[in-house]
Structure formats: C-alpha cells, structure tokens
Structure 1
C-alpha cells in the first residue's frame, strides 16, 4: 500500500453467514487476498445486535449463537473501489461502512 490516505471498509455480518458452504468472513478474506488488497482483519464480537434488534451473545453452554463478525478491509481508494462491488454482492443482511483514514506507517 503506497498511499498516505486510505479507505477502511467495515463489514458487519453474522458468524453463521455462509457463501458456497464456507464462512462468509473467510470467503471475503480469501477474496481480498487474491485481489491483492493490503490488509484484512476479522473480529468476532461477544455481544451485539443489528437491524432486527435481536441480541446475539456468547453463552457458555450454547454451541451456536451467531455472534457478530466485523471484517475490516484497508487499502488505497483505487483498490477498494475495485473490490467493493464484489464484497457488497456477498452481503445479504449486514452493514458496510467506509471511512477515509490516514496511514501513519505500513511496513
């Protein structure tokens, strides 16, 4: 990544979301890597809710709770503009946000 100002994409989905039988967060990460995107990080939330207002939380005795997942994708604006349409098509129910960020260091 050779830009001082980048774009940070945040994609909010559920842990149970799938694409072609694979966890959606994993599919998106692999897609971004194949497209040469500078970086992707996936976070698993312990509590959250979205449009439906259904609270999803981690419970000790519950095996599947569809916890919130946040995928952060960062790169120069041009690269994000290339991959964003593909990522957007994969999100049936969820939220995608964009923000400009200043890159301090990328080694």
Structure 2
C-alpha cells in the first residue's frame, strides 16, 4: 500500500448563485473538468449559515437557496493552474478552501 500526497479543494456556494447568468455550481464543475481535475462531487446541504445569512429547507417556501459544496482531489500543481480563474468566478459569493490529504493506492 502506498500513500500519495494530494490536496482536497472545496468550494462553498449557494445553489442559486450565478456567474454571467449561469448557475455557478455548474460553471465551477465545468471549469474544473476543463483544467483536467481528476473528478468533482457536489454536495447539497440541508441547512447552513455564513456571511450572507441562514439557508435552510422550508417546505412552505416555493424557492430555496441551500448551501452546496463542490469537492475535488488532485495534485497541488494541478490546482495552481485553475485557482486564478476559480477565484474570479466565485468572487465574494463563496469560499474556497484547500487542505493536505493522502490518497491510498495499492
């Protein structure tokens, strides 16, 4: 068994965030794919809060704006290529984090 040093990148958004009129979550995923990031997963939260207020599921409301997290794992050098453009897309609408991880390989 072998451990490979990688990074995990997370982008925190709200599901109705837009960039140039397009859904920001989809825009971020397309950007990651176009830069060769190995894969991405989008998680939709039940509730959360941040600088832009509280978001939660409310059956009585017709529209919801729940938190979403786009998560991906790759090498730091790969992320360095996409971060400038990703930062421009997310802007003040979200949060980008990156942490060290180890991927297990046989």
Q: Which range, TM-score by smaller chain?
A: 0.7 to 0.9
How far apart, CA to CA, are the structure 2 residues paired with 1:11 and 1:23? 14
- 1:73-92 pair list within 5 angstroms: 73-91=72-90, 92=92
| Greater displacement, 75-84 / 3-12 | 3-12
For structure 2, list consecutive stretches of 5 or more residues without a partner in the other structure.
none
1:7 aligns with 2:7: yes
How far apart, CA to CA, are the structure 2 residues paired with 1:73 and 1:95? 14
- 1:59-78 pair list within 5 angstroms: 59-78=58-77
Shift of 1:84: 1.1
How far apart, CA to CA, are the structure 2 residues paired with 1:74 and 1:36? 11
Find the counterpart in structure 2 of residue 49 from structure 1. Answer: 49
Question: What is the TM-score when the length of structure 1 is the normalising length?
Answer: 0.87
| Greater displacement, 61-70 / 29-38 | 61-70
- In the comparison of the two structures, how many residue pairs are matched? 103
The answer to whether the 8 Å contact 1:10/1:98 transfers is yes
Structure 1 residue ranges, 4+ long, deviating more than 3 angstroms after superposition: none
For structure 1, list consecutive stretches of 5 or more residues without a partner in the other structure.
none
Q: Please, what is the CA RMSD of the aligned residues?
A: 1.7
Q: Greater strand percent: which structure?
A: 2
The answer to whether the 8 Å contact 1:74/1:80 transfers is no
Shift of 1:105: 3.6
